[in-house]
Every structure is written in C-alpha cells, then in structure tokens.
Amino acid sequence: MRRYFFHLVKGRESIPDEVGAGIADLAQGRARAIEAAWEFLQEHAGAAVELKDWRIEVADESGAIVLRIDLGEIAGSEEGRTSPN
C-alpha cells in the first residue's frame, strides 16, 4: 500500500494534504479523489461558481502528481455522488 496526498489547488493557491492516505492502487486513489471532491462540493454548494476552477491533485510519496480531478467536471456529472460503501 502506498501513501497518496490529495491537494486542493487553484492556480497558485493550494491547500495541501499533509497527512495523506494509504491507497492500494491508483484506481482506488481516483475513486477516493472523486468522492472527496463531491463531498467538498456538497459542503460548499453555495460557492459552486467559485469552485469550478479548483482541482484535486493526487500526489504520490515522492511528490509527483499522478492524477488531477477538476471540481467543475465533478460538479457537472453524476460520478462520485454515491459512495460504494
């Protein structure tokens, strides 16, 4: 299991994930990022227009960005609205 970090980013602004999470593989990391993005959008529903330019960048332990998820794309899709649990 590898540790991945889920950073919230907009241009030069960033809210880094200092803790990260142990994830079995990148597919699980993608699913977790989409779920986190959807939860974030639900919590900040009134600011949807402002959030459209934000993204979640998933970084591996070395700091390399391995995946990007745009919040605007998640907001406009059904993906991530239901948790598999």
pLDDT attached to residue 49: 55
Mean pLDDT of all residues in 7-32: 89
Strand, coil or helix: what is 6?
A: strand
> For residues 26, 31, 33 and 37, what is the CA-based torsion angle, rounded to 10 degrees?
160
Q: What is the mean pLDDT of the chain?
A: 80
Strand, coil or helix: what is 28?
A: helix
pTM metric for this prediction: 0.75
pLDDT attached to residue 50: 65
| Band of pLDDT at residue 29, cut at 50, 70 and 90 | confident
pLDDT attached to residue 36: 79
